[in-house]
């Protein structure tokens, strides 16, 4: 019998065979049955549904082995496409790469016995927070083409975006640093989904096993002494709770959900929706924003969502828009004046719509 191997979607190839029934993330319906051969269309559909990991038949190689072969440092640091190429990044390139390296090293250490040293990660995260709190108008331009190391980059993007939201909510540095940490580590449990030490393999459905990453993450981070603060641990544990009380694991509602969790889950969604591992991008920044706004009060806290909209504006960085004079531009950032008058890049020129009363956006191209 073939062994079951959970693999990140980015590593699934045409022709791989599903080793277990796959459940829809929101209902309990079987999405694909065991034995299905994966093809391009199925992959696109899974991406659309934000399914990050699936079980396929393998030769029983250790997940560890697969991971170390794809997450080589050079692979990880390869230049990848940001949301809007040609526009400055949310944090300097070097800083971004610095966090990838320190976070990756720490994640590897997680598998080793005993407590581990988090100093380097803490240091790089503090530098990111310090860099972000002095910025006046944020440019939400993150690497979105995750060729490899999805979990690391997703953690970092979620962290950067969470700090932007937190800072817009006037949170102090004292709170932004733990928020950045919680966001960085929120999905760490996904790396341990196959580890029998943490997963109750016998009695649960596949969907429940996948969702266990919140409790696994919590257990690992607390046992290794990485996140000592109760608040941060709870944020990891509760990041799949929903504002209307239908989330996991506790079905907590509204303000009862950890505040850091309510922030990081919006950042989490935005990065997941705009990231891609294939050439065809799933959602444009504008579509991703609409997707998230449609879930205000259901999945997400409207108060936090309001701050998120202040960060990205109604036309997020990377949105291609048409102006009333026929010109086409790409949104760089909000102008800080209003949500509908962003700063654009047209060719090699910058146009601040808040300062040009005769020019406005008539439609979104993508």
> In the complex, what is the shortest distance from the CB of residue 244 to Fe ion, in angstroms, rounded to a whole number?
18
Of residues 26 and 356, the one with the C-beta less far from Fe ion: 26
The interface with Fe ion within residues 257-276 (CB under 5 A) comprises: none
Of residues 148 and 212, the one with the C-beta less far from Fe ion: 212
Q: What is the DSSP letter of 11?
A: G
Q: Report the C-alpha gap between 62 and 184 in whole angstroms.
A: 25
Q: Report the C-alpha gap between 152 and 187 in whole angstroms.
A: 9
Q: What is the DSSP letter of 273?
A: H
- Find residue 4's DSSP bridge partners: 57
Of residues 187 and 241, the one with the C-beta less far from Fe ion: 187
C-beta neighbour count of 115 within 10 angstroms: 11
Asked whether the beta carbons of 300 and 105 are under 8 A apart, the reply is no
Of residues 11 and 187, the one with the C-beta less far from Fe ion: 187
> In the complex, what is the shortest distance from the CB of residue 182 to Fe ion, in angstroms, rounded to a whole number?
12
Site string for Fe ion, 135-174 (x = CB under 5 A): ----------------------------------------
Of residues 128 and 183, the one with the C-beta less far from Fe ion: 183
Chain centroid, CA 328 distance in Å: 29
> In the complex, what is the shortest distance from the CB of residue 247 to Fe ion, in angstroms, rounded to a whole number?
11
> In the complex, what is the shortest distance from the CB of residue 267 to Fe ion, in angstroms, rounded to a whole number?
12
| 10 lies in the site for Fe ion, by CB under 5 A | no
Radius of gyration of the chain (CA): 20
Phi-psi region of 61 (alpha: psi -120 to 50; beta: other; left: phi over 0): beta
> In the complex, what is the shortest distance from the CB of residue 354 to Fe ion, in angstroms, rounded to a whole number?
37
Of residues 34 and 240, the one with the C-beta less far from Fe ion: 240
> In the complex, what is the shortest distance from the CB of residue 240 to Fe ion, in angstroms, rounded to a whole number?
6
The interface with Fe ion within residues 332-361 (CB under 5 A) comprises: none
Of residues 63 and 126, the one with the C-beta less far from Fe ion: 63
Site string for Fe ion, 175-204 (x = CB under 5 A): ------------x-----------------
> In the complex, what is the shortest distance from the CB of residue 30 to Fe ion, in angstroms, rounded to a whole number?
21
Scan for tokens 């047209």, then name that residue.
346
Which residues, other chains included, contact 185 with Cβ-Cβ below 8 Å and sequence gap of 6+?
A: 155, 217, 221, 226, 227, 232, 236
- Residue number with the shortest CB distance to Fe ion? 187
Residue ranges of the alpha helices (H) in the chain?
40-48, 63-70, 73-77, 93-109, 119-133, 150-168, 173-185, 206-211, 213-223, 230-237, 259-274, 285-293, 302-312
The interface with Fe ion within residues 277-296 (CB under 5 A) comprises: none
> In the complex, what is the shortest distance from the CB of residue 173 to Fe ion, in angstroms, rounded to a whole number?
26
Q: Which residues bind Fe ion (CB under 5 A)?
A: 187
């Amino acid at each position: 019998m073939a062994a079951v191997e959970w693999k990140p979607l980015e590593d699934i190839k045409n022709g791989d065979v599903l080793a277990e029934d796959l459940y829809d993330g929101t209902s309990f319906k079987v999405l694909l049955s065991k034995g299905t051969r994966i093809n391009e269309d199925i992959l696109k559909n899974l991406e659309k549904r934000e399914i990050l990991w699936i079980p396929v038949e393998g030769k029983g190689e250790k997940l560890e082995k697969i991971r170390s072969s794809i997450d080589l440092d050079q692979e990880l640091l390869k230049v990848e496409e940001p949301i809007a190429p040609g526009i400055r990044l949310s944090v300097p390139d070097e800083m971004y790469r610095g966090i990838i390296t320190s976070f990756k090293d720490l994640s590897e250490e997680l598998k080793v016995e005993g407590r581990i040293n988090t100093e380097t990660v803490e240091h790089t995260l503090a530098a990111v927070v310090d860099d972000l709190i002095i910025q006046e108008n944020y440019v939400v331009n993150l690497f979105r083409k995750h060729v490899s190391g999805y979990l690391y980059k997703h953690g970092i993007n979620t962290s950067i975006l969470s700090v932007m939201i937190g800072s817009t909510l006037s949170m102090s540095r004292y709170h932004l640093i733990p928020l950045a940490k919680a966001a960085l580590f929120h999905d760490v449990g996904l790396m341990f989904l196959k580890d029998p030490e943490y997963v109750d393999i016998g009695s649960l459905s596949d969907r429940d096993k996948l969702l266990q990453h919140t409790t696994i993450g919590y257990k690992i981070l607390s046992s290794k002494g990485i996140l000592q603060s109760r608040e941060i641990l709870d944020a990891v544990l509760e990041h799949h709770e929903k504002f209307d009380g239908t989330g996991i694991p506790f079905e907590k509602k509204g303000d009862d959900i950890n505040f850091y969790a309510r922030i990081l889950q919006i950042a989490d969604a935005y990065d997941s929706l705009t990231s891609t591992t294939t050439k065809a991008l799933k959602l444009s920044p504008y579509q991703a924003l609409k997707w998230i706004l449609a879930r205000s009060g259901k999945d997400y806290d409207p108060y936090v969502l309001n701050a998120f909209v202040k960060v990205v504006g109604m036309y997020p960085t990377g949105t291609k828009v048409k102006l009333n004079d026929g010109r086409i531009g790409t949104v760089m950032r909000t102008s800080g004046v209003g949500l509908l008058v962003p700063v654009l890049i047209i060719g090699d020129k910058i146009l601040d719509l808040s300062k040009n009363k005769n020019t406005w956006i008539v439609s979104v191209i993508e």
